Amino acid sequence: MSGDGSTDAAATAVPDLRERRRRDMCSEISLAALELFERQGFASTTVGDIARGAGISQSTYFRHFPTKEQSVVGFDAGLEREILTWVTEADLDSVGLVGIEDIVARFLRRMNAANTASSDRVMRVRRLIVSDAHLRSAAIALDEVVIARLADALAARVPRSPSRLTAETAIMTVRVAFDTWAARVDDGDRDADLAEIYRVACRDLRTVVTGAAPDVTT
């Protein structure tokens, strides 16, 4: 999901040992939290429960996540890095919504192809978000933080562009695609393709903006 070669390089860059350990710890904490939320519910789970499930202290937990919500919900950090790197480094003429959509589409295709376990975890999180109003509110609030960072990055590159509207639209479309994917899988469509669902969401966005009749043939 990158727009040029620089983003492809950024996507495949190997993090240093400290960063790999930090990401591994975040992943372990997130998995422990996810399993507890699924088993006993978000409201009944404490940070202490999560820390014990991950085999760490509460102080270690808080070095990685400021709240229990953020242990499972939030915009994908890897995807955000790719988008922001692309906005910063891409040719100025290409910086905009279409370029961001290309970044997202490539990221989702890689996610589907590279790691079934990762896709399964994402699906489990989306189910929690859909079923729990508090988690959904937290997810939307965290999306707003990403939107603000993306809007700032766009404004820095293209000062007179509709940076806030572009950022809001880009992240909203990702959210719609993930929610649609989760709903389709829960309805029994085990072959639902997230990358294709995202492509359709982007197409439907154009339909809404232009007021054209939807093309139901694709």
- At 1 the pLDDT is 31
Mean pLDDT for all residues in the chain: 87
The pLDDT-based confidence of 77 (bands split at 50, 70, 90) is: confident
Q: At 106, which amino acid appears?
A: R
The encoded tokens of residue 61 equal: 């937990």
Token digits of residue 2: 């990158």
Q: How far apart are CA 125 and CA 210, in angstroms?
A: 33
Tokens of 145: 């933080």
Q: Which is more confident, 213 or 27?
A: 27
Structural domains of the chain in order of their starting residue, each with its CATH number:
5-210 (1.10.357.10)
Contact indicator for 100, 166 with CB cutoff of 8 Å: yes
Residues 6 or more apart in contact with residue 18 via CB below 8 angstroms = none
CA–CA dist 16, 98 (Å, integer): 32
Is pTM beyond 0.85 here? no
Residue 170 in tokens: 């880009």
| Residue 180 contacts residue 202 (beta carbons within 8 Å) | no
90: left (phi over 0), alpha (psi -120 to 50) or beta: beta
> Which tens digits make up the pLDDT trace of 146-197?
999 999 999 999 999 999 999 999 999 999 999 899 888 888 888 888 999 9
Q: How far apart are CA 83 and CA 7, in angstroms?
A: 8
**What is the C-alpha to C-alpha distance for residues 36 and 88, in angstroms, rounded to an integer?**
39
The predicted-structure confidence for 2-53, as pLDDT tens digits, reads as follows: 333 333 434 445 667 888 888 889 999 999 999 999 999 999 999 999 999 9
Residue 85, judged by CB atoms within 10 A of its CB (0-12, 13-18, 19+), counts as buried
Q: Return the percentage of the chain with pLDDT > 70, whole number.
A: 88
